[in-house]
Structure 1
Amino acid sequence: MKAVLKSDSLAVSVVIPALNEAPNLYRILPILREAMNSITDSWEVLVVDGDSQDGTPAVVAQAGDPVRYICEKERGYGRAILRGVSEARGMYIITMDADMSHPAEFIKALWDSREKADVVIASRYVRGGHADQPMFRYYLSRVLNKFFGKGLSIPVKDMSSGFRLYRKRIFEGIDLEFTNFVILVEILLRTYGKGLHIKEVPFHYQPRGSGGSHASIIKFGLDYLRLFKRIWAIRNSVQFPDYDWRAHNSRIWFQRYWQRKRYSIIMGFTPPFVSTCDVGCGSSHILADLPHAIGVDMRHDKLAFMRKTNKKLLQANGMILPFKDASFDCVISSEVIEHIPNEDGKLIDELTRILKPGGTLILGTPDYGGWQWPLIEWIYGKVAPGAYAEEHCTFYSYKSLREALESRGYEILDHGYICKAELVFKAVYKPRAVPQVVPVHVSTSA
């Protein structure tokens, strides 16, 4: 499911999913009007109703503009949220329950944090938060939230809170699967996957005003577990923006060793305090520990993730770099060249173009000349299908890469290996002087 976003003509839209909530809506809508008027005069409220038969449309009509009634006949909390997002005309969206458990007065706290994050969560489980819930429901909620937070490595304590503020643009292009309450976790996963910022503010959760909850806590928990099985693979895929960062501290020993060995080799080869460009930087600790370097990558989400450690970031194609000739004293490109179809030395040429004469090139790629990497790649393809192994399409060996560098005027200073499988060269660029053509004067006299 995807939301089709409307243009922003208001500051904020409040989306309230509802199903037979007329008594609570009758109480909350006047309070909500007062709360919204206290923060902005550019707002609307969208009551997304599941075709209730309790007089909900009349209650919403009585509230008057800018409160709107939207009937969504397809059931499900997730469908109601996405319908509201699609209908919203605000730059920001606030989602809240209709049952009085989300006090309208708290909206100001969410609104005041809007510039600090892309998603702001009213959280029961951060310091200062609290929840008045039956004991069983409270502990099951805490267990599920901790399980998902740890298992998915998302730094959010209250992933199931539906009281939130969103920048509407975060929903652009997001394809969501779940139609029930589990969509709350899925939205956070997709948001985090885009490298966007999530913030929690402490909140006191209160009991419902009237009626019974439409969320079965047991079914809710089972749906959460069903999501976890499917979403864990996405969270831990190589496509996730913080994959390289997390792999550096992976619970899997071999993965952690590989990442740290690569880090050690490249950092050992990199000259200190010189102008440096990391082409295809990804989300690695290498760039984080080179704060003076410029990081270049094609993926915006990886660069967004690296904003917390680096300021000099640029989204660009490594084959057409937006730098002048001879711009850097050091150029790094690790685990990039093997992903480029029909590379034929073109990436090396572009890296050479931006490197100053006498500068250092650090270039890393799998060594397809031995048996070690092909074996590791075969095993990796079996264990993690769809990962990097299937993306490799340019196959250098030690010999062919060395020849490619030396033919372009490089002197190999050193090289390092990870398990005799991944190769990293350190080379200095010594362009050959172009011989001067001396004019020859031929005498025509006898």
Structure 2
Amino acid sequence: MKVSVLIPTKNEPLINELIEEVHEVLKGYEHEVIVIDKSDVSPEIKNAKLVVQKSDGLGKAILEGLPHVTGDVIVTMDADFSHDPKDLPKLIEEIDGHDIVIGSRFVPGGRNEDKMYRRFVSFLFTKIASFILNLRVEDSMSGFAVIKRNVYEKLKLNPIGFKINTEILYKGKKLGFKTTEVPIMFRKRKAGKTKVGVSFSGLKEGFRILRYVFELKLGLR
């Protein structure tokens, strides 16, 4: 089994450090790392395949990276170290017998080190989205996931912003794909600034996500 790691990035100063840690953690696996870059000034990416993103949004970045994938399973993770590369093996191991494995902040054993306000907003909108879409998972908006390549090939995805996995879970459920969750530590980012603010802009993004969720429910996406 070959593992393809997709990492969307924009102005992340530690991207090469993350790439090296991913390689170290996955040295026992056949794997590749693909960086989809939307930076104002493209960094010198080392030891990874570079895809220059043409569209906007993390979800669209994943879609632009898919044609470059050669692995059997696809990992998506953040570029800012909020997703710990050391969690990769336990997520990958769970793909045997499942189609989608979610790294979850909200199952027993999972943790979220983000600021209290952001933890509350994230938890609230995640639970609302799961209720609307009848998703039987605790963390439907996690960006840390391992998904079989054929799942992406069978789903018609049209994401907005950075919540592509919510759409994958909903459309995957309708097609009968098997999903499980694995507890992870969601860490404070090492450097740079979060793409979503901690006050009004965070709430604004949350309501934008809810609109997207209702569009999914109504079959408009």
TM over 0.5, shorter chain = yes
**Aligned twin of 1:46:** 34
Partner residue in 2 for 1:160: 141
Aligned counterparts, 1:406-445, within 5 A: none
Determine the C-alpha separation between the residues in 2 that align with 1:220 and 1:159: 16
Which is bigger in relative contact order (C-alpha 8 A, separation at least 6)? 2
Any idea what the Cα deviations from partners look like across 1:235-259, whole Å, max 9, x if unmatched?
9xxxxxxxxxxxxxxxxxxxxxxxx
Q: Which has the larger radius of gyration?
A: 1
Measure how far apart 1:184 and its partner are: 2.3
Amino acid at match of 1:233: L
- Any residues of structure 2 matched to 1:189-268 within 5 Å, and which? 189-216=170-197, 217-234=202-219
CA shift in 2, pair 1:113/1:173, >3 Å: closer
Contact 1:159 1:184 in 2 (8 A): yes
Name the CA distance, whole Å, in 1 between partners of 2:172 and 2:67.
17
Once the two structures are TM-superposed, the CA of residue 116 in structure 1 deviates from its matched residue by: 2.7
Q: % of aligned pairs identical? A: 30
Instruction: State the SS of the aligned residue for 2:5.
Output: strand
Residues 95 and 164 in structure 1, CA contact (< 8 A), matched pair in contact too: yes
**Residue from 8, 11, 16 that aligns with 1:17:** 8
2:150 to 169, 194, 201: 169
2:56 paired with 1:27: no
Residue in structure 2 matched with residue 80 of structure 1 by the alignment? 61
How far apart are residue 188 of structure 1 and its match? 1.0
Aligned residue-pair number: 216
Secondary structure (helix, strand or coil) at the match of 2:26 reads helix
Give the Å deviation of 1:222.
1.4
Query: Where does structure 1 lack aligned partners over 5 or more consecutive residues?
Result: 1-9, 236-446
Structure 1 residues 175 and 104: CA distance shift in structure 2, 3 A: same
Quote the offset at 1:231 in angstroms.
2.2
Q: Please report how far the alpha carbon of residue 111 of structure 1 lies from its aligned counterpart in structure 2 after TM superposition.
A: 1.1
Structure 2 CA distance for aligned equivalents of residues 51 and 97 of structure 1: 14
- The amino acid across from 1:44 in the alignment is E
The corresponding residue for 1:129 is: 110
What does residue 186 of structure 1 align with?
167
Residue 104 of structure 1, aligned match among 60, 80, 85: 85
Say which SS state the counterpart of residue 18 (structure 2) adopts: helix
Judged with a 3 Å threshold, the aligned counterparts in structure 2 of structure 1 residues 205 and 51 are, in CA distance, closer, same or farther, namely closer
Residue type of the partner of 1:45? V
Any runs of at least 4 consecutive aligned residues in structure 1 with deviations exceeding 2 A, and if so which? 215-220, 231-235
1:89 aligns with 2:56: no
- Letter of the structure 1 residue corresponding to residue 58 of structure 2: Y
Asked whether the equivalents of residues 182 and 223 of structure 1 are also in contact (C-alpha less than 8 Å), the reply is no
Residue in 1 that maps onto 2:125: 144
- Residue ranges of structure 2 left out of the alignment (5+ in a row): none
| 1:293-343 deviation line (CA, Å, top 9, x unaligned) | xxxxxxxxxxxxxxxxxxxxxxxxxxxxxxxxxxxxxxxxxxxxxxxxxxx
- Distance in 2, matches of 1:167 and 1:134, equals 32
Distance in 2 separating the partners of 1:52 and 1:88: 24
- One-letter identity of the residue aligned with 2:26: M
Question: What is the TM-score with the length of structure 2 in the denominator?
Answer: 0.92
Q: What TM-score do the two structures reach when normalised by structure 1?
A: 0.47
Amino acid at match of 1:224: I
